[in-house]
Amino acid sequence: MELVLRRVGDVPSAALERAKRALLRELEFLNVYIDYKRLEPSLDAYDWERRQYVASKLLKELGKVDDTLTVYLIEADAYEDNLNFVFGLAMPWEGIAGVFLRRLRNEFYGWSPDEEKFMQRVEKEVLHEVGHLLGLEHCPNPKCVMSFSNSIYDVDFKEARFCNLCKLKIYRRFSA
């Protein structure tokens, strides 16, 4: 199974590479590629009143690359109906997902920059969204990368790995 990581906006190459390493560590059956070309987000998906992108609209506009799963790292803030913001969004029926980086940075909260913490959060959110692309729901185990994150504290609390039950569900479905 193939997956391509793409960037939208001023996303550092190191974030793409860190995401790739996390995916290969946790999901050995994936063939992960990085497309280093920098894409720009469409203003058609921007909500000027909220100053955020509509996550699903932006992902639909970005689209899927061929027959591969496509995950976008997006230097922006986004929301969905009934949610003030999203760290990420997966659209399994489309084969696409996005991780919105703005709220993963300490600076968003007025804290001192911490590049390592940011990279750990990128890993967790990419793994989480790929888990959804592979058919997983949210996990009740708060340490599992598939647990729902309602705040940056929830992201920091969980680990950058699937719990045994979630990993078993993935491997039953995709490894042979």
pLDDT, residue 112, reads 97
pLDDT digits (tens, 9 = 90+) for 28-44: 999 999 999 999 999 99
Give the residues of the chain that fall short of pLDDT 50: none
pLDDT, residue 175, reads 65
- 16 SS3 class: helix
pLDDT, residue 78, reads 98
Q: Is 75 a catalytic residue?
A: no
Task: Report the alpha-carbon distance of residue 165 to residue 142 in Å, rounded.
Answer: 13
pLDDT digits (tens, 9 = 90+) for 87-102: 999 999 999 999 999 9
Domain 2-174 class? alpha beta
Write down the catalytic residue from 26, 123, 125, 129: 129
